[in-house]
Structure 1
Amino acid sequence: MPDPPPGAWTPDRDSAPWWERTGRGEFAIQRCDGCGTARLPARAFCPACRTEGWHWEAAEPVGTVESWIVNRRPFAPGIEVPYLVVMVRPDPVPGCLLHGSWHAGREPVGGERVRGVFVPVPDGPTLVGWEPVVR
């Protein structure tokens, strides 16, 4: 297989299965086979017990808004500014913060409950964005 062109998006060894799953609209976490610790981002070793054994497990993409920023500088072609980036503490991995685009017509609120949405990027990965949970 030829090397990708310079600047092309390519997943690393540990995260490739995550990106394959998000491309199918699935949110998943790694779970350690030794101690059961859930983790994101994907890693070869468990941060709790250093075990190499783990598996992927589907999880509900829900969490809580921890913080957010309003970005006013272009990040990539086709993304209009300004836009909001939220930092979410996902329920399945409380020690993790996931960043993603905000999908609501207003600013988020700290502590707000959110649900993940899958956002395809042309010639790139499918990202996880966040929207408010409607009750």
Structure 2
Amino acid sequence: MMRPNVDRDSAAWWERVAGHEFAVQRCDRCGTRRWPARAFCPACRTEAWAWEAVEPIGTVVSWIVNHQPFMPGLGTPYVVVMVRLAAVPGALAWGNWHGDGEPQAGQLVEAVYTDVENGVTLVNWRPYTA
């Protein structure tokens, strides 16, 4: 199985996802939330930040039906959604669709954590069920 590309900035995020927690970075100086993880705040350029757990919800921006098997054993076709995160409005996340039928642009969704082999957990999306 292909593994996510974990780097210095994203390692702690992947550890939190393995515990089924969705977190973003929050700047200690100006309070700006950011995702994906990076070393500097885009608003004030400080390096001071902390992880903050947030509700893993957002809205569908777009989606595709993928017919190309990118990983061994992954059946096709499958739907991939692009989601605008509610906690970080400028941030987009991608994942597989875990809902019945096709997603709709503007649809409210929530994260669902999919544990796969070798300790890897992926973030996928389903219709919001609050």
| TM-score (ref. length: structure 2) | 0.94
Matched, 1:14 2:9: yes
Distance 1:8 1:64 in 2: 26
Q: Counterpart of 2:115 in structure 1: which amino acid? A: P
Q: How does 1:77-116 map to 2 (within 5 A)?
A: 77-116=72-111
The answer for the alignment partner of 1:56 in structure 2 is: 51
Q: Counterpart of 1:110 in structure 2: which amino acid? A: A
Deviations 1:78-127 (A, max 9, x none): 21010000000010010000001100121100100001010122136311
Deviations 1:28-64 (A, max 9, x none): 0100111111000000101111100000011000110
Q: More deviation in 68-77 or 125-134?
A: 125-134
What is the SS of the residue equivalent to 1:21?
helix
Q: Counterpart of 2:106 in structure 1: which amino acid? A: G
8 Å CA contact 1:71–1:83 kept in 2: the answer is: yes
Q: Which of 109, 124, 127 is the aligned partner of 2:122?
A: 127
Count of residue correspondences: 129
Matched, 1:38 2:30: no
**Percent of residue pairs identical:** 59
Please report how far the alpha carbon of residue 10 of structure 1 lies from its aligned counterpart in structure 2 after TM superposition: 4.8
Give me the CA root mean square deviation.
1.4
Gap runs ≥5 in structure 1: 1-6
| TM-score (ref. length: structure 1) | 0.90
Q: Counterpart of 2:50 in structure 1: which amino acid? A: H
The answer for the alignment partner of 1:65 in structure 2 is: 60
Please report how far the alpha carbon of residue 8 of structure 1 lies from its aligned counterpart in structure 2 after TM superposition: 5.6
Distance 1:134 1:8 in 2: 29
8 Å CA contact 1:9–1:124 kept in 2: the answer is: no
